[in-house]
Amino acid sequence: MNSRKTHRLCLASPVFFPTYGGSQLRFKRYLPGLRARELDIRVFTGTPHSKEMSAEESSLWGDYPVGEFIPVGDIGGIPVHRVRLPDTKGKKRTRTYNRKLLELCDNPEYRPDVLQMVGPLKPLSIPLLKKLRARSIPTLYAVTVAPPKPAKRKWYSLAQRREIELFNLLDCIVTNNEPLKEFVRAMGIRTRVEIIPNGVDLARFRPAENPEERQSLRDELGLSPEDTVITSIGGIMPRKGSHLLIEAWASLAQDYPATHLVLVGPRKDLEQPGLRLFRRKLENLVQGSGAPQRVHFTGLSDKAGAYLRASDIFVLPSEREGMPNAVLEAMASRVPAILTPFKGLSADLGTAGEQYMLCERTAPALASTLRQLLDDAQLLARIAQQGYDWVRQTMSLDKSLDRYAALYHELAEHCGS
């Protein structure tokens, strides 16, 4: 029997369930496994901007005063402390979030032994990290996606110095692959860095057990067993390459009349005013395909596993990632994956041409690679099986949870909790 002391873990993210990004979704899936590893967990989070709230979220949170805690909720029995954040972007929102997080940590009833931060972390949080360090609360931050190219502005060097100061106040940075660790070190950051690959829940992400299970979600989309489903999972945005995939599929739509394109994820182009031109481009591509009825936008969904079991090909034409869980989950579902050489791509995903297909990040290259798989059933089956075998051998969720839990306990004990 494990006699290890139970430690308190606080998972802090500006937004969390039910509104979240990929990294928040991944940590949400980790919560039950971490709790089973002698960790008493609480989540601290805020509210999204009003325009990004669903009607249900707005009715739950919209009337609470800015800067006040909303009554404690829960995710699967794990308490969630949520503060009403202002709708303004920038300093006021970050400072409100930081002030209430510190207030939670100062409450003896909730004071964590270790604090895991997920999501955006900005230099405005330097005072917060200094105060947490003074209180002997060890802090970690998960770097989950490769950064964009540095801004070419005169003040960039100052901004970079502030970012280095911010990260050096952390007790540990966790990356999910070697390229992200190399990026952190290249910045001149001295903080301890640990690599913990994203684990895959092989019970949730698995091939369909029978034709009926595979067809279940297809029925919701009005698809027959003979249709070919090409799927992508992630926010609909330029970085994810949604436009490139739609353009590639549109060039094939007439030659392959049984193919359908399914895009699973929140419509960032509908949420963010700055993406109006991108949204118009998507609409033009869909309408110009000659088969708009075969393009399916699902919006934010908790049925990723079911969509993958219903799929024939998975595509992620992203510009930059860390360790994209959607790719691992597609492989675990025995669905062949097509990737582009995104910033952050590592050998942890296997080898191009064996565990996945790799092509240039252009619509013509994506279309050509899709044709390869659509025309060659043996190639499709081989890539699918080899990706499936790779994930099962190297990306067990239990291994990742063991390493995270060991790290949390180590940091908590080191600080004398």
- Please say whether the beta carbons of 242 and 232 come within 8 A: yes
Whole-model pTM?
Answer: 0.76
Q: Output the CA–CA distances (angstroms, integers) from residue 39 to 75, 106, 174, 312, in the order listed.
A: 15, 19, 18, 39
Which residue segments constitute the domains of the chain, with CATH numbers given?
7-199+397-414 (3.40.50.2000), 211-394 (3.40.50.2000)
Answer left, alpha or beta for residue 366, where phi above 0 means left and psi between -120 and 50 means alpha: alpha
Cβ neighbours of residue 159 under 8 Å, at least 6 residues apart?
123, 151
- Please say whether the beta carbons of 146 and 343 come within 8 A: yes
Span 178-220, pLDDT tens digits: 888 888 888 889 999 999 988 888 888 999 999 999 999 899 8
Angle, helix 377-394 to helix 363-375, in steps of 10 degrees: 100
Cβ neighbours of residue 211 under 8 Å, at least 6 residues apart?
225
Span 215-234, pLDDT tens digits: 998 998 899 999 999 999 99
Low-confidence ranges of the chain (pLDDT < 70): 1-4, 19-21, 145-156, 415-417
pLDDT at 417: 46
Scored b (16 or more CB within 10 A) or e, 45-74 reads bbbbbeebbeeeeeebbeeeeeeeebeeee
The CA R_g of the chain, rounded to the nearest whole Å, is 22
Span 238-274, pLDDT tens digits: 999 999 999 999 999 999 999 999 999 988 888 888 8
CA dist., res. 357 & res. 348, Å (int): 15
Task: Tell me whether residue 176 is exposed, middle or buried, using C-beta atoms within 10 angstroms of its C-beta: 0 to 12, 13 to 18, 19 or more.
Answer: buried
Residues in the chain: 417
